Structure 1
Amino acid sequence: MAITDSITWPGSVANARLIQQELAAKVKLTPMQNPVRYIAGIDVAFPNKGKTTRAAIVVLSFPSLEMVELTVYEAPTVIPYIPGVLSFREGGAILNALAQLKISPDVLMFDGQGIAHPLGLGVASHIGVILNMPTLGIAKSCLVGKFDEPELTKGSISDLVINDKKSGYVVRSRDKVKPLFVSPGHLITKEQALQLALQCITKYRLPEPTRLADKLSKNQM
């Protein structure tokens, strides 16, 4: 997959937030126009007590959810954990991993946030804007916003509201498990992001693309 951009640390948290604000203004939540044939699940882990950054990508055919390609990119960790600007810590490794793909996915599904971020630019939105392609975030916890707890049965959904605006969804992916937080990243509507997430959920809590990417990032595949 051809990648021409990069993500580097801008030198300070203040500069990082300025860049986030600039990129957030470029986020477009417009409908995906092309059919989805391949979907990539993306996750990043920090093994070796955080000294290594490992970006893992699993590409699945859609809607069959059969794995067709996987790749891992590792590099020394150069940016510490700083809440709110994680895409700068993870983004470079993710872009390098994407560059290794032979199959170009139609949409990227991140284990992380889309617009459900204090500045409206989680990792899914950040990379979506840079690559100008459809992305969505599937997060395991709520970073910002208010919501009513969905019913305890699989498939129950409630709205994630940020600044009085419905910005995503809270989804119960299995009976009586903690919900997931689904938000669009870029070039996709929140309804399409929800539908795609639901179509990728099987018998596990996480949708297949990010579930497999999570396993790969932990070297469990």
Structure 2
Amino acid sequence: MNEHPPEWLHPPDLKRATAIQRAIADAVELADRIGPVVRVAGADTSMKWRDSRGPIHAAIACDDGTVGQATRIPPFPYVPGYLGFRECPALVAAWETLVVKPDLVLMDGQGRSHPRRCGVACQLGVLLDVPVIGVAKSLLCGVVDGVLGADAGSTAPLVDRGEVVAMAVRLRAQAAPVYVSIGHRVTLDTAVDWVRRLSDGRRVPPPVRGAHEAANAVRIAHGLAMEAENVDIL
């Protein structure tokens, strides 16, 4: 894992968190630095519905079937635009449980398509120093420039304050697009190419779907364990 100041995972307050996001954004590598890709993974988190203080359950699901997982109490309050500080401690812990690390990660979330160019995919990529692609299902900033075609494979740039920060990519005809952005150590063209290459014709690529399912499974297992523990205590 990349060396970084401890507060990059645990900022003391919102003001420092803002400054840290800008520092991480400056540390993001926008060029391709990817070795041979043998193992691809998806990364995602899950939490109990509307429970902003409860634990975050993270999963990094590799395409060989191995899953790194972790559950952590988020050290940072829920603030839109700062979700990386809630999710990354659990994601980093999940990464550390993997014996064999993936060569490329598709993160369910924003990368450069963020007001301060530091979505969770950027934070995770810089913290771990691994190639990460952001694959988001909704917009946080910017507008799609031009018309996105209805056919599978259609793309259109997402522009925020004059900068292309992501690409809207339709992976299934007529379905809503995903928004592909740079996380770390990939160009936008490379990120889009990988998402297309990994697509199986559904709206969301398999690595992201697999991570979503794995994170939900971690949350459910944790809930069942807590229920069993309470029953034993009673």
TM-score (norm 2): 0.85
Shift of 1:129: 1.4
Question: Are positions 1:117 and 2:82 aligned together?
Answer: no
Equivalent position of 1:58 in the other structure: 61
Q: Counterparts of 2:194 and 2:176 in 1: how far apart (Å)?
A: 19
Aligned residue runs from structure 1 range 82-161, under 5 A: 82-147=79-144, 148-161=146-159
Structure 1, residues 126-152: CA drift from partner, whole Å, max 9, x if none? 121122221110000111112134122
Residue identity in the other structure for 1:141: S
Structure 1, residues 183-219: CA drift from partner, whole Å, max 9, x if none? 0111110000000111111132111111100111112
Shift of 1:49: 4.8
Report the structure, 1 or 2, having the larger helix content: 2
Equivalent position of 2:161 in the other structure: 163
Q: Is the 8 A contact 2:45 2:215 kept in 1?
A: yes
Give the count of matched residue pairs. 214
Shift of 1:4: 6.2
1:29 aligned counterpart, secondary structure: coil
Q: Counterparts of 1:163 and 1:8 in 2: how far apart (Å)?
A: 28
Q: Is the 8 A contact 1:3 1:98 kept in 2?
A: no
Q: Counterparts of 1:166 and 1:8 in 2: how far apart (Å)?
A: 27
Q: Counterparts of 1:167 and 1:137 in 2: how far apart (Å)?
A: 11
Shift of 1:106: 0.9
Equivalent position of 2:73 in the other structure: 76
1:116 aligned counterpart, secondary structure: coil
User: Which 10-residue stretch deviates more, 84-93 or 32-41?
Assistant: 32-41
Question: Are positions 1:16 and 2:14 aligned together?
Answer: no
Aligned residue runs from structure 1 range 36-51, under 5 A: 36-47=37-48, 49-50=50-51, 51=54
TM-score (norm 1): 0.89
Structure 1, residues 38-66: CA drift from partner, whole Å, max 9, x if none? 11100011127521210011111xxxxxx
1:68 aligned counterpart, secondary structure: coil
Equivalent position of 2:35 in the other structure: 34
Q: Counterparts of 1:26 and 1:3 in 2: how far apart (Å)?
A: 11
Q: Is the 8 A contact 1:57 1:213 kept in 2?
A: yes
Q: Counterparts of 2:147 and 2:95 in 1: how far apart (Å)?
A: 35
RMSD of aligned alpha carbons: 2.0
User: Which 10-residue stretch deviates more, 51-60 or 28-37?
Assistant: 28-37
User: Which 10-residue stretch deviates more, 11-20 or 68-77?
Assistant: 68-77
Q: Is the 8 A contact 1:42 1:213 kept in 2?
A: yes
Residue identity in the other structure for 1:207: P
Residue identity in the other structure for 1:45: S
Shift of 1:3: 7.2
Shift of 1:68: 3.1
1:176 aligned counterpart, secondary structure: coil
